[in-house]
Amino acid sequence: MSAPQIFVDAHTAHICEEVELMHIRKQAEACAQIYPEQKISIWQPQKGGVGILTLPALTGKLNRAVGCGKDSPLQEDDLRELEAIFATIGLECEIHLSAFASGSEALLSRGYTEKAILSTYWCDVREWARAIPDFSSDIVVRLAEPDETDQFIEASIAGFQTNGRSREILGTLARLAVQRQDMLFFAEVNGQIAGTAAMAIMDTGNGKKVAHLFLDSTHPDTRGQGVQLALIQERLRISHQLNLEMATSITQAGDGSARNAERAGLSVAYIVQIFTGPRTS
């Protein structure tokens, strides 16, 4: 893929990207509360987006620059500046292009490599409520109780641990959702926890209230049973109940989460690239 691809009108794409940038900023702010003795950095790169640096061990999700190239094409000087910032904690850059970035030429010429392709999904919640079929399921999805946060964290870790990330990263991601006071969900099969997920409510700059669906985790023993699909549907149902206007979610392009998002009634707003680097000899 040579450049980001947008499949919705520009206004909708801007809202989706604004929600992602708000989410990233809130992640760093919550991280600073969990680790008050650590230096947590949040900044706006020259060409748009949001950058966050947390602990070096929390690679990827909590050390990245998102929405880069939103305002104008990235140049070599922009990349040098980002590299210097990431180098302060001994990490290589992780750059997520904006949906509105014009290309990746500067990244490629400087030796960056494409790490992944992400799809941002969205739906108009009111349209979803009118059109989506009712999936029958034996899976029970419920909100976590206030005294169940430790259980939520452990269940989230258990569902993600087969993806190669460390327990420290997985536990921190779950604790951030707790710290932010996002809505936390359990999915249960036969009375046992089968999956977890979170939902943040974002107030965007143009007044829209948007549900951001994230942190979907399914226990390895219950994969393939529709757990994530049920978690997505319940969050969309509650979004409609709360009179939210839109919902968004971000997945790796073409993976199981993407398929479940589409089955639940979301569609792709845009696709962007993640780059890491630069490559050193």
**Banded pLDDT at 281 (limits 50, 70, 90):** very low
Average pLDDT taken over every residue of the chain: 93
Average pLDDT over residues 149-170: 89
Cα distance between residue 35 and residue 87, in whole Å: 20
Average pLDDT over residues 63-87: 95
Q: Which residues contact 3 (CB under 8 A, 6 or more apart)?
A: 101, 102, 103, 104
CB–CB of 215/198 below 8 Å?
yes
Q: What is the pTM of this model?
A: 0.95
Q: Tell me: the pLDDT tens digits for 118-146?
A: 999 999 999 999 987 666 678 999 999 99
Burial of 281 (0-12, 13-18, 19+ CB in 10 A): exposed
Domain ranges of the chain: 5-119+272-277, 123-268
| In CATH, 123-268 is 3.40.50.1220 | no
- Nearest of 85, 104, 132, 141 to residue 2 by alpha carbon: 104
| Amino acid 53: pLDDT | 97
Q: Tell me: the pLDDT tens digits for 178-206?
A: 999 999 999 999 999 999 999 999 999 88
Indicate if the pLDDT at residue 277 is higher than 80. Answer: yes
Indicate if the pLDDT at residue 2 is higher than 60. Answer: no
Phi, psi of 95 (to 5 degrees): -120, 120
Strands 267-277 and 113-124: antiparallel
**Banded pLDDT at 166 (limits 50, 70, 90):** confident
